[in-house]
């Protein structure tokens, strides 16, 4: 890696298996294979937006681990920090979408990523402008939680990089009574925080953006996402709201990661927060338009043009991007199939 790092993400990359659109898992004979994982989604999107990104994580010494590393490298993500575990497998999840909502079936217990520690991250301290991780990683194991906590303390103490934290609450991983206080403490130590109103309701008993801000008054950049309605940016005493784009939703998983990637890209490029929220919405809209978790953004000139339209044009979704806000949703190398008859759980 010859250019300075801008972003380091910390988390668990996963293999995602998904039936073709419109087919229930129980009826499927073929599954599409994709890479997934919240921080991997952010790393891929930000690399494709032109940022210099490294990924810190662990995968198994297995073909799924090979595939994940190949996808990350192809997108331009620096993968030297990824540890190959000889004893534990790469995590996998299977998505079952019934046309109304997705149900995820995870096969990640005891995965390589549960062994992630702060020592895996230590060689990269002092290098990037921004670290990004999520509440998913904090929930994977006590070692993972400690790694996230130590990273947050390090960035808060040294001030050498920004810490971005997406609350990203997953009920399948831990109960809100346990997760709520932990995630609130982590968010309070971060510089940039993303949280959905629905998450805040489950974790902290409030879904109102202003009340969420009252819980996190010391966070320099707080972004509250109100589903398909709007996103709010709280910075010092300033509040900015930008409505979500009108989007025909194919499948919602991955939209939050796409939003974070767009927003963080704009922040690193020193854009104002209204533009940053629009970048987030643009990539989230693309993710909502696909069964895959990731997006391949349009060219920077088109992104900039779309983010700069007037409010009326924005609200109507009439944007100067080919295919409206629906960016390409997967790199061609990802469009491969796995026969369900030959696959193993």
Query: Does 106 fall in a domain?
Result: yes
Query: Beta strand pairing status for 7-10 and 130-134?
Result: parallel
The verdict on whether 120 is a catalytic residue reads: no
Q: What is the pLDDT of residue 69?
A: 97
Query: Does 311 fall in a domain?
Result: yes
CATH number, position 273: 3.40.1190.20
Q: Cα–Cα distance between 318 and 341 in angstroms, integer?
A: 44
Q: What is the pLDDT of residue 327?
A: 41
Q: What is the pLDDT of residue 334?
A: 36
Q: Cα–Cα distance between 101 and 123 in angstroms, integer?
A: 41
Q: Cα–Cα distance between 211 and 243 in angstroms, integer?
A: 19
How many domains, the chain?
A: 1
Query: Does 303 fall in a domain?
Result: yes
- CB of 223 closer than 8 Å to CB of 193: yes
Q: Is 75 helix (H, G, I), strand (E, B) or coil?
A: helix
Q: Cα–Cα distance between 285 and 339 in angstroms, integer?
A: 30
Q: Cα–Cα distance between 194 and 330 in angstroms, integer?
A: 24
Q: What is the pLDDT of residue 193?
A: 98
Q: Cα–Cα distance between 270 and 267 in angstroms, integer?
A: 5
Among the listed residues 41, 109, 107, 97, the one whose alpha carbon sits nearest the alpha carbon of residue 72: 41
Query: Does 109 fall in a domain?
Result: yes
Q: In what order do the strands lie in the sheet with 238-243?
A: 53-56, 7-10, 130-134, 162-166, 192-196, 221-226, 230-235, 238-243
**Residue 292, C-beta contacts closer than 8 angstroms, at least 6 positions apart:** 16, 18, 32, 34, 254, 329, 330, 334
What's the Cα-to-Cα distance from 113 to each of 13, 88, 323, rounded to whole Å?
8, 9, 37
What's the Cα-to-Cα distance from 73 to each of 1, 44, 78, 121, 327, rounded to whole Å?
12, 9, 6, 19, 21
pTM for the model stands at: 0.89
Q: What is the pLDDT of residue 322?
A: 55
Q: What is the pLDDT of residue 99?
A: 64
Q: Cα–Cα distance between 18 and 187 in angstroms, integer?
A: 32
Q: What is the pLDDT of residue 248?
A: 65
Among the listed residues 131, 137, 215, the one whose alpha carbon sits nearest the alpha carbon of residue 174: 137
Residue 298, domain extent: 7-339
Among the listed residues 105, 30, 57, 34, the one whose alpha carbon sits nearest the alpha carbon of residue 254: 34
Residue environment code for 24-55, b if the CB has 16+ CB neighbours within 10 A, otherwise e: ebeebeebbbbbbbbbbbbbbbbbbbebbbbb
**Which burial class, exposed, middle or buried, applies to 76 when counting CB atoms under 10 A from its CB (0-12, 13-18, 19+)?**
middle
Residue environment code for 313-325, b if the CB has 16+ CB neighbours within 10 A, otherwise e: ebeeeebebeebb
Catalytic, out of 257, 272, 293, 335: 257
Mind listing the pLDDT tens digit of every residue in the chain (345 residues)?
567 899 999 999 999 998 877 788 999 999 989 899 999 999 999 999 999 999 999 999 999 999 999 999 999 999 999 999 999 999 999 988 766 677 889 999 999 999 999 999 999 999 999 999 999 999 999 999 999 999 999 999 999 999 999 999 999 899 999 999 999 999 999 999 999 999 999 999 999 999 999 999 999 999 999 977 899 999 988 999 999 887 766 666 678 999 999 999 999 999 999 999 999 999 988 877 665 556 778 788 888 999 999 999 998 887 877 544 444 334 333 333 333 333 333
Query: Does 2 fall in a domain?
Result: no
Q: Is the dihedral of CA 6, 11, 15, 16 positive or negative?
A: negative
Query: Does 1 fall in a domain?
Result: no
- And the tokens for 255? 């939209």
**Residue 94, C-beta contacts closer than 8 angstroms, at least 6 positions apart:** 16, 17, 18, 25, 31, 104, 105, 107, 345
Q: Cα–Cα distance between 114 and 28 in angstroms, integer?
A: 30
The stretches of 126-175 forming alpha helices (DSSP H) are: 135-140, 142-158
**Residue 184, C-beta contacts closer than 8 angstroms, at least 6 positions apart:** 203, 204, 215, 216
Query: Does 187 fall in a domain?
Result: yes
């Amino acid at each position: 890696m010859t250019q300075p790092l801008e972003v380091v993400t910390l988390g668990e990359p996963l293999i995602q298996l998904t039936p073709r659109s419109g087919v229930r898992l129980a009826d499927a004979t073929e599954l599409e294979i994709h890479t997934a994982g919240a921080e991997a989604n952010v790393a891929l999107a930000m690399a494709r937006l032109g940022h210099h990104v490294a990924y810190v994580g662990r995968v198994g010494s297995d073909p799924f681990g090979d595939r994940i590393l190949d996808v990350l490298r192809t997108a331009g993500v620096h993968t030297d920090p990824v540890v190959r575990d000889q004893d534990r497998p790469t995590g996998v999840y299977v998505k079952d979408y019934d046309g109304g909502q997705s149900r995820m079936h995870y096969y990640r217990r005891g995965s390589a990523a549960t062994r992630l520690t702060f020592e895996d991250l230590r060689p990269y301290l002092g290098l990037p402008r921004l670290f990004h991780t999520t509440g998913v990683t904090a929930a994977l194991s006590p070692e993972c939680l400690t790694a996230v906590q130590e990273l947050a303390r390090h960035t808060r103490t040294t001030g050498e990089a920004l810490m971005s934290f997406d609350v990203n609450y997953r009920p399948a991983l831990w109960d809100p009574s346990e997760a709520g206080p932990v995630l609130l403490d982590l968010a309070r130590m971060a510089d940039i925080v993303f949280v959905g109103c629905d998450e805040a309701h489950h974790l902290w008993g409030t879904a109102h953006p202003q009340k969420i801000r009252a819980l996190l008054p010391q966070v320099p950049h707080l972004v509250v996402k109100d589903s398909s309605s709007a996103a709010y940016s709280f910075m010092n005493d300033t509040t900015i709201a930008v409505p979500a784009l009108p989007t025909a939703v194919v499948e919602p998983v991955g939209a939050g990661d796409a939003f974070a990637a767009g927003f963080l890209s704009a922040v690193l490029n020193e854009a104002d927060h209204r533009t940053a929220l629009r970048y987030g919405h643009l990539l989230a809209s693309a993710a909502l338009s696909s069964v895959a978790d990731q997006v391949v953004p349009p060219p920077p000139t088109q992104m900039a043009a779309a983010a700069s339209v007037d409010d009326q044009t924005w609200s109507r979704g009439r944007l100067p991007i080919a295919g409206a806000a629906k960016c390409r949703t997967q790199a061609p190398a990802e469009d491969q199939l796995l026969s369900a008859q030959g696959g193993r759980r």
